[in-house]
Chain A
């Protein structure tokens, strides 16, 4: 009895993987077909598939909310570490949802007020911290300890000065040198990386379509 149950569950597991792989293959194949096809039926079907992705993504937001509530409510209940911050988080998750559902999300609604006066300034603050992080990262990267780091330092000085009015005031040809660095050596390296990445992405897609790469399914 136990053995047959184990066999049954393992066969379900195998079937699940096979069905997932088959769906991945079919979906990918349809998208490739639609890319090369001029047939309106195939193109429309691929567009419908993309719409389904959006719909599934929207519904899955509930999954995210459940995850947030589950993780944080547990800490609040147990009065765990920093539980007060979790309480504020849960309060705002529910508060903004309720405001949005009752009064909508248009201008001059409570949801909009919360977004404009709390969420938006906080996100801008996080982004502005980037300036300080760039300074500390640049300090570490530009220390002339090796030949490569020295070349990087010199290049960075030319590009940064060349992009500012001060650079032009110091030497009027500096901006053109900065532009040359960006348009030739920099762009060449970037294109090399992009070509490699594109081929890598295509090879990975092929592995997924053929069912060789299945680790992302668990």
Chain B
């Protein structure tokens, strides 16, 4: 209850200060960009929400997190690969390490690698960028060490296959043909190759779990994969799989921010339609 009061008060103060500052949006100081005050206000509220919920979980409060079928299916998929004696193929997207979706993919890779280590299932991680290769190798190595299977770790589980987008696809198709992985996991940023990978995997009879935050690629994954994580689910995956209270707390903070944005959109529609409020809600969401 106290947390909600604090968040509501903070939101009210932040929004009233934002409305005042938005009136002077064009004036910038030498230290601060006043034209981005609206983004700063939302950023502060968001950080406060996440940190408050993290603090609550530290104190032992438990939150309900809805079931995500695609993530529940990962263990099932690895189990299937183990029974069939085939490898698990994991692709952490085709973007560089500075893309947050790639980081999210690598976090999920760590969880998947831990399960493959426990089951002694072969794992194959083809990557498109050398920096992602280094991070993927570290991620897999850490997972094998955590599982107490450090000796089973092979640095060649993660391998750099090609730097060009479609050369990468050709290389992955080759892996799918030769090794016949039983489970394919695609988690990260994907572009035109999403359907090329997913359809080939579908034809090879693998269970496929995909996740991306690129909305234009989601229909392809939905059509060709068994489970698809959409947008925010990709970023929530590592927290969901880890079940660590601190990580789950940040998900609740994120939900709180989402509710706030829905309220803003709802109020914005009403206020802008009735032409009242001097365009406050409109200005709140644009960069001046």
Give A contacts to B, CB under 8 Å.
32, 35-39, 53, 56-57, 60-64, 67-68, 70-71, 81-82, 85, 119, 122-123, 126-127, 129-130, 133-134, 136-138, 140-141, 190, 193-197, 199-208, 212-213, 215-218
Contact = CB atoms under 8 A, between A and B. Distances in A.
Given A38-B31, A199-B254, A218-B139, A193 B164 contact: no
Given A206-B47, A208-B103, A212-B250, A201 B235 contact: yes
B28 interface: yes
Given A35-B33, A119-B164, 8 more contacts: A36-B32, A36-B36, A67-B159, A71-B156, A122-B166, A137-B223, A193-B218, A218-B141
Contact of B142 (A126, A190, A202, A217): A217
A70 B160 CA distance: 10
Contacts of B107: 213, 215-216
Given A36-B32, A39-B30, A63 B130 contact: yes
A119 B253 CA distance: 48
B98 interface: yes
B100 A205 contact: yes
A64 B232 contact: no
B31 A216 contact: no
B276 to A, nearest CB: 24
Interface stretch (B60-68, B83-91, B192-200): B192-200
Contacts of B43: 32, 202
Interface string B203-228: 00000000001010011101110000
Contacts of B130: 57, 60-64, 67
A184 to B, nearest CB: 14
Say what secondary structure dominates the interface of chain B: helix
B231 A196 contact: yes
Contacts of B28: 38
Contacts of A206: 46-47, 50, 250
B116 to A, nearest CB: 15
B160 A36 contact: no
A122 B111 contact: no
B232 A137 contact: no
A110 B83 CA distance: 49
Interface string B25-38: 00011111100100
A78 to B, nearest CB: 13
B185 to A, nearest CB: 15
Contacts of A195: 258, 261
